[in-house]
Amino acid sequence: MMTETKMAPDESAEELRALRERISQLQDELLRQKVAGAEESFHRMADAAPVMIWTAGPEALCTFFNAAWLEFRGRRLEQECGNGWADGLHPDDRDLCLETYLKSFSARQPFRIEYRLQRSDGEFRWIENTGVPRFDNGIFCGFIGSATDVTHRKTAMVTPDEEAVRIVFSLTERERQVLVLIAEGKSTKEAAARLGISYKTADSHRSRILEKLGVHETASMVRYAIRAGLVAP
Protein backbone atom coordinates (compact mmCIF):
# COMPACT_ATOMS: atom_id res chain seq x y z
CA MET A 1 0.00 0.00 0.00
CA MET A 2 1.41 3.36 -1.00
CA THR A 3 1.60 6.15 1.59
CA GLU A 4 0.23 9.48 0.41
CA THR A 5 1.44 12.86 1.59
CA LYS A 6 -1.47 15.04 2.61
CA MET A 7 -1.38 18.58 1.29
CA ALA A 8 -3.13 21.61 2.70
CA PRO A 9 -6.09 22.71 0.56
CA ASP A 10 -4.34 25.97 -0.35
CA GLU A 11 -1.22 24.09 -1.44
CA SER A 12 -3.30 21.67 -3.53
CA ALA A 13 -5.17 24.51 -5.24
CA GLU A 14 -1.93 26.38 -5.96
CA GLU A 15 -0.32 23.26 -7.43
CA LEU A 16 -3.33 22.62 -9.68
CA ARG A 17 -3.31 26.23 -10.87
CA ALA A 18 0.40 25.97 -11.72
CA LEU A 19 -0.12 22.71 -13.60
CA ARG A 20 -3.03 24.13 -15.58
CA GLU A 21 -0.96 27.17 -16.53
CA ARG A 22 1.76 24.85 -17.81
CA ILE A 23 -0.80 22.84 -19.81
CA SER A 24 -2.15 26.07 -21.32
CA GLN A 25 1.37 26.99 -22.41
CA LEU A 26 1.88 23.58 -23.98
CA GLN A 27 -1.47 23.76 -25.75
CA ASP A 28 -0.61 27.18 -27.16
CA GLU A 29 2.75 25.89 -28.30
CA LEU A 30 1.19 22.97 -30.17
CA LEU A 31 -1.33 25.20 -31.88
CA ARG A 32 1.31 27.79 -32.84
CA GLN A 33 3.92 25.57 -34.35
CA LYS A 34 3.63 25.05 -38.09
CA VAL A 35 7.20 24.04 -38.96
CA ALA A 36 8.58 20.55 -39.56
CA GLY A 37 9.25 18.67 -36.34
CA ALA A 38 6.65 20.63 -34.38
CA GLU A 39 4.90 17.47 -33.17
CA GLU A 40 8.17 15.90 -32.03
CA SER A 41 9.04 19.12 -30.22
CA PHE A 42 5.67 19.14 -28.50
CA HIS A 43 6.10 15.51 -27.40
CA ARG A 44 9.45 16.33 -25.83
CA MET A 45 7.96 19.25 -23.91
CA ALA A 46 4.95 17.18 -22.86
CA ASP A 47 7.16 14.37 -21.59
CA ALA A 48 9.00 16.88 -19.41
CA ALA A 49 5.76 18.10 -17.81
CA PRO A 50 4.77 16.70 -14.38
CA VAL A 51 1.09 16.48 -15.32
CA MET A 52 -0.49 13.80 -17.52
CA ILE A 53 -1.09 14.98 -21.11
CA TRP A 54 -2.86 13.31 -24.03
CA THR A 55 -3.90 14.10 -27.59
CA ALA A 56 -6.53 12.58 -29.85
CA GLY A 57 -7.30 12.82 -33.55
CA PRO A 58 -10.57 13.95 -35.16
CA GLU A 59 -12.05 10.43 -34.87
CA ALA A 60 -11.72 10.55 -31.04
CA LEU A 61 -8.94 7.95 -31.01
CA CYS A 62 -6.03 8.89 -28.76
CA THR A 63 -2.71 9.38 -30.54
CA PHE A 64 -0.32 10.35 -27.74
CA PHE A 65 0.16 10.07 -23.97
CA ASN A 66 3.12 11.69 -22.27
CA ALA A 67 5.62 10.08 -19.90
CA ALA A 68 3.70 11.09 -16.77
CA TRP A 69 0.54 9.34 -18.02
CA LEU A 70 2.40 6.17 -19.03
CA GLU A 71 4.20 6.07 -15.67
CA PHE A 72 0.91 6.48 -13.82
CA ARG A 73 -0.72 3.69 -15.81
CA GLY A 74 2.32 1.42 -15.97
CA ARG A 75 1.62 0.71 -19.65
CA ARG A 76 3.28 1.34 -23.00
CA LEU A 77 2.18 4.04 -25.43
CA GLU A 78 0.85 1.52 -27.94
CA GLN A 79 -1.31 -0.08 -25.22
CA GLU A 80 -2.95 3.24 -24.30
CA CYS A 81 -3.41 4.70 -27.79
CA GLY A 82 -6.67 4.37 -29.67
CA ASN A 83 -9.21 3.27 -27.06
CA GLY A 84 -6.71 1.34 -24.95
CA TRP A 85 -6.69 3.93 -22.16
CA ALA A 86 -10.35 3.15 -21.44
CA ASP A 87 -9.31 -0.30 -20.16
CA GLY A 88 -8.31 1.45 -16.94
CA LEU A 89 -11.65 3.12 -16.24
CA HIS A 90 -13.54 2.07 -13.13
CA PRO A 91 -16.56 -0.01 -14.25
CA ASP A 92 -19.02 2.34 -12.53
CA ASP A 93 -17.52 5.44 -14.20
CA ARG A 94 -16.91 4.02 -17.67
CA ASP A 95 -20.25 4.82 -19.35
CA LEU A 96 -20.47 8.44 -18.14
CA CYS A 97 -16.81 9.13 -18.94
CA LEU A 98 -16.98 7.79 -22.49
CA GLU A 99 -20.35 9.45 -23.12
CA THR A 100 -18.97 12.84 -22.04
CA TYR A 101 -15.80 12.32 -24.08
CA LEU A 102 -17.61 11.34 -27.29
CA LYS A 103 -20.28 14.05 -26.97
CA SER A 104 -17.55 16.67 -26.57
CA PHE A 105 -15.84 15.43 -29.72
CA SER A 106 -19.11 15.52 -31.63
CA ALA A 107 -19.88 19.05 -30.43
CA ARG A 108 -16.20 20.10 -30.60
CA GLN A 109 -16.58 21.69 -27.19
CA PRO A 110 -14.21 21.67 -24.18
CA PHE A 111 -14.97 19.27 -21.35
CA ARG A 112 -13.97 18.58 -17.76
CA ILE A 113 -14.85 15.36 -15.99
CA GLU A 114 -13.83 13.40 -12.91
CA TYR A 115 -13.60 9.62 -12.94
CA ARG A 116 -11.59 6.79 -11.41
CA LEU A 117 -8.64 5.42 -13.38
CA GLN A 118 -6.54 2.42 -12.43
CA ARG A 119 -2.97 3.19 -11.46
CA SER A 120 0.00 0.91 -12.13
CA ASP A 121 -0.31 -0.63 -8.64
CA GLY A 122 -3.94 -1.60 -9.29
CA GLU A 123 -5.48 1.15 -7.13
CA PHE A 124 -8.24 3.26 -8.66
CA ARG A 125 -7.47 6.96 -8.33
CA TRP A 126 -9.77 9.94 -8.91
CA ILE A 127 -8.69 11.83 -12.03
CA GLU A 128 -9.78 15.26 -13.25
CA ASN A 129 -9.49 15.23 -17.03
CA THR A 130 -9.90 18.33 -19.18
CA GLY A 131 -9.85 18.53 -22.96
CA VAL A 132 -10.06 21.29 -25.55
CA PRO A 133 -10.55 21.00 -29.33
CA ARG A 134 -7.71 21.78 -31.75
CA PHE A 135 -8.18 23.53 -35.08
CA ASP A 136 -5.78 24.18 -37.97
CA ASN A 137 -6.95 26.90 -40.34
CA GLY A 138 -10.49 26.28 -39.20
CA ILE A 139 -10.28 22.50 -39.68
CA PHE A 140 -10.97 20.33 -36.63
CA CYS A 141 -7.85 18.27 -35.82
CA GLY A 142 -8.89 16.56 -32.58
CA PHE A 143 -8.38 17.30 -28.89
CA ILE A 144 -5.56 17.95 -26.47
CA GLY A 145 -6.03 17.45 -22.75
CA SER A 146 -4.51 17.07 -19.33
CA ALA A 147 -5.30 14.80 -16.41
CA THR A 148 -4.54 15.35 -12.74
CA ASP A 149 -4.78 12.97 -9.80
CA VAL A 150 -7.25 14.69 -7.44
CA THR A 151 -7.73 11.83 -4.99
CA HIS A 152 -6.52 14.10 -2.18
CA ARG A 153 -9.67 16.19 -2.69
CA LYS A 154 -11.79 13.13 -2.09
CA THR A 155 -9.88 12.21 1.05
CA ALA A 156 -9.83 15.67 2.65
CA MET A 157 -11.46 15.97 6.05
CA VAL A 158 -15.18 16.67 5.73
CA THR A 159 -17.66 17.66 8.45
CA PRO A 160 -20.89 15.65 8.03
CA ASP A 161 -23.57 17.71 6.34
CA GLU A 162 -26.96 17.56 8.08
CA GLU A 163 -28.95 17.61 4.84
CA ALA A 164 -26.78 14.88 3.33
CA VAL A 165 -27.19 12.79 6.48
CA ARG A 166 -30.96 13.17 6.35
CA ILE A 167 -31.20 12.17 2.68
CA VAL A 168 -28.75 9.27 2.92
CA PHE A 169 -30.50 7.84 5.96
CA SER A 170 -33.80 7.88 4.09
CA LEU A 171 -32.31 4.98 2.09
CA THR A 172 -32.99 1.41 3.12
CA GLU A 173 -30.32 -0.47 5.05
CA ARG A 174 -29.40 -2.52 1.99
CA GLU A 175 -29.17 0.59 -0.18
CA ARG A 176 -26.82 2.19 2.36
CA GLN A 177 -24.67 -0.95 2.30
CA VAL A 178 -24.42 -0.77 -1.49
CA LEU A 179 -23.69 2.98 -1.30
CA VAL A 180 -20.87 2.46 1.20
CA LEU A 181 -19.21 -0.25 -0.88
CA ILE A 182 -19.39 1.80 -4.07
CA ALA A 183 -18.09 4.88 -2.21
CA GLU A 184 -15.15 2.76 -1.07
CA GLY A 185 -14.28 2.07 -4.69
CA LYS A 186 -16.00 -1.27 -5.24
CA SER A 187 -17.72 -1.94 -8.56
CA THR A 188 -21.40 -2.91 -8.58
CA LYS A 189 -20.33 -6.50 -9.27
CA GLU A 190 -17.92 -6.48 -6.33
CA ALA A 191 -20.60 -4.97 -4.06
CA ALA A 192 -23.01 -7.73 -5.08
CA ALA A 193 -20.44 -10.41 -4.26
CA ARG A 194 -19.60 -8.80 -0.91
CA LEU A 195 -23.28 -8.64 0.09
CA GLY A 196 -24.16 -12.07 -1.29
CA ILE A 197 -26.76 -10.75 -3.73
CA SER A 198 -27.06 -10.93 -7.51
CA TYR A 199 -25.53 -8.32 -9.77
CA LYS A 200 -29.02 -7.46 -11.05
CA THR A 201 -30.22 -6.79 -7.51
CA ALA A 202 -27.16 -4.69 -6.66
CA ASP A 203 -27.55 -2.68 -9.85
CA SER A 204 -31.22 -2.12 -9.05
CA HIS A 205 -30.22 -0.82 -5.60
CA ARG A 206 -27.65 1.47 -7.22
CA SER A 207 -30.29 2.89 -9.60
CA ARG A 208 -32.67 3.59 -6.71
CA ILE A 209 -29.89 5.26 -4.72
CA LEU A 210 -29.16 7.62 -7.62
CA GLU A 211 -32.86 8.39 -7.93
CA LYS A 212 -33.38 9.03 -4.21
CA LEU A 213 -30.29 11.21 -3.95
CA GLY A 214 -31.35 13.13 -7.06
CA VAL A 215 -28.01 12.63 -8.85
CA HIS A 216 -27.00 11.00 -12.12
CA GLU A 217 -23.42 9.87 -11.66
CA THR A 218 -21.34 7.75 -9.33
CA ALA A 219 -19.05 10.64 -8.38
CA SER A 220 -21.98 12.62 -6.93
CA MET A 221 -23.22 9.53 -5.12
CA VAL A 222 -19.80 9.07 -3.52
CA ARG A 223 -19.74 12.72 -2.44
CA TYR A 224 -23.08 12.20 -0.67
CA ALA A 225 -21.65 9.23 1.23
CA ILE A 226 -18.63 11.26 2.33
CA ARG A 227 -20.70 14.33 3.29
CA ALA A 228 -22.99 12.12 5.33
CA GLY A 229 -20.06 10.51 7.13
CA LEU A 230 -20.86 7.00 5.84
CA VAL A 231 -17.29 6.48 4.69
CA ALA A 232 -14.04 7.84 5.99
CA PRO A 233 -12.77 10.74 3.87
Per-residue model confidence as pLDDT tens digits over 60-83: 999 999 999 999 999 999 999 999
- Of the candidates 108, 99, 214, which has an alpha carbon nearest to the alpha carbon of residue 166? 214
pLDDT of residue 208: 92
Q: What digits encode the pLDDT tens for the residues 45-65? A: 889 888 999 999 999 999 999
Domains of the chain (ranges, CATH numbers): 9-153 (3.30.450.20), 157-227 (1.10.10.10)
Alpha-carbon gap, residue 226 to 228, rounded angstroms:
5
Alpha-carbon gap, residue 189 to 178, rounded angstroms:
10
pLDDT of residue 201: 94
pLDDT of residue 156: 57
Q: Annotate 25-82 with DSSP letters as a single string.
A: HHHHHHHH--STTHHHHHHHHHHHSSSEEEEE-TTS-EEEE-HHHHHHHT--HHHHTB
pTM equals 0.56
Alpha-carbon gap, residue 166 to 176, rounded angstroms:
12
Q: What digits encode the pLDDT tens for the residues 134-188? A: 998 889 999 999 999 988 776 655 566 788 888 888 889 889 889 988 988 889 9
